[in-house]
Amino acid sequence: MSLLINGSTVQLPEHVSTVSDVILHFFTDRPVVIVEHNGEIIDKASHPTREVTDGDKLEFVHFVGGG
């Protein structure tokens, strides 16, 4: 499956089927705070059930510390 994630096209394995799966695949070391799926901001409770399909667009936002 091909998705547009934060502006880059990526290929994902077949077992990745929900927003939660995508987050676990890419962001195991930092918490994702906001997710936009095809232009719609979705709430965290829907991540496990929100399915992704070929060609979907996802934007992930997380906080970065530093100074």
Cβ contacts of 61-64, under 8 Å, gap ≥ 24: 61/32, 61/33, 61/34, 61/35, 61/36, 62/27, 62/30, 62/31, 62/32, 62/33, 63/33
Confidence of residue 41 (pLDDT cuts 50, 70, 90): very high
pLDDT tens per residue across span 16-35: 999 999 999 988 777 777 99
- Please name the CATH architecture into which domain 2-61 falls: Roll (3.10)
Domain boundaries, the chain: 2-61
pLDDT at residue 31 in the model: 76
**pTM for this one?**
0.86
